[in-house]
Amino acid sequence: MAKERNNMINRLKMLLKNLILICVCVPACLLSAWSSKSVAADKEITRLRATVLPYFGFAPLYIAEAEGFFADEGLAVEFVPLKGHAESLPALLRGEIDIETMFSVGLLNAISRGENIRAVAGRGTMAPNACPYSAFLVRPGKAAEISAMKAEDLRQLTFGVDPIWLDGFFLHQWLGKRGLSLQDVKTKYLPAPAARLEALRQGSLDAVFVSEPWITKALESNAGELWLPASEVAPDFPLNTIAFGPSMLSRTDDAGVRFLRAYLRAVARYAEGKTPRNIEILAKATKLDADLLHRMCWPVFPLDGNIDAESIVRFSVWAHQQGRADRPLASADEIWAPEFLEKARQK
């Protein structure tokens, strides 16, 4: 009897020992497995750097980040707030950033010189009949008068545009229908939108070019009147482009396709309009008041991500004539690489 009791006690001791061993080893194994999985997952993340500024025209990029669309594609995208083309283009060419989201004459010149850069998607468009996101404003009560002016009267006006950039190009298109060119009128460029509107109010400028939210601010304060939406003179012209630099175009993986797939998801979410969530994300990103975001016009982002590349070719011809572009683009193929977008749209 005593022997059986001793055997039972020994068996219980052995069982208890095994249970303790299990309790110690299993969590350790699980932790080790989780850690290995975590490290492996971290290694699978593709890290990219893109130029993004706190302006509304970058809206889909902010939505893609906030809603986890980049993360869903295994991407960690760092937004680099470079201050302009003079900083961003050299950084793109050096491989310090992978994705340039600002169109410029410098971009055209780099392509003309054989640099490995291509536009792969649009970042907004001058959509006809849409709420005007970019436009020329004049003093209240002057829009109809200026539209009806003869060429000799238009020569006396001073336009607040950059004569070597898109607003100068847009004004040139409008003047051309009246037998004039940009060189036939007076221009004065003020970089700050607030300064342009103040000059308009004081009368030193007769027309200025601005984008939202400055259009809404001017109209609501009676500082200006809508005269000429950019979409009327340059319908479907790209507001901006997304371009891949050498570090992206030389990759052998599908990071570019995944980036654009996330971007297109964000464009679709943006197209839902002024939803509470979109307002929340964009108010935080742009530091604009949520109420102002409700009132202002939002730019149009085509759901397919395409751009009118031929319009960029036409702009390059004009920029060359102005002495800014090295040469006109020979064709849209020089700047436009649609294959990334085509793959991104595939389900």
Q: Indicate the pairing of strand 241-244 with strand 99-100.
A: antiparallel
Q: Which of 68, 94, 63, 92 is nearest to 80 (CA)?
A: 92
**Maximum C-alpha span of the chain:** 125
Question: What is the rounded distance in angstroms from the CA atom of residue 270 to the CA atom of residue 184?
Answer: 41
Q: What are the pLDDT digits (tens) for 34-86?
A: 443 443 344 589 999 999 999 999 999 999 999 999 999 999 999 998 777 77
Q: What are the pLDDT digits (tens) for 282-326?
A: 999 999 999 999 999 999 999 999 999 999 999 999 999 999 999
In the chain, what are the domain boundaries? Answer: 46-125+237-345, 134-233
For domain 46-125+237-345, the CATH superfamily is: Periplasmic binding protein-like II (3.40.190.10)
The CATH architecture that domain 134-233 belongs to is: 3-Layer(aba) Sandwich (3.40)
Q: Output the pTM of the full model.
A: 0.85
User: So what's the pLDDT on residue 20?
Assistant: 44
User: So what's the pLDDT on residue 87?
Assistant: 85
Q: What are the pLDDT digits (tens) for 8-26?
A: 555 545 544 554 444 444 4
Is 137:207 a contact under the CB 8 Å cutoff? yes
Question: What is the rounded distance in angstroms from the CA atom of residue 239 to the CA atom of residue 266?
Answer: 17
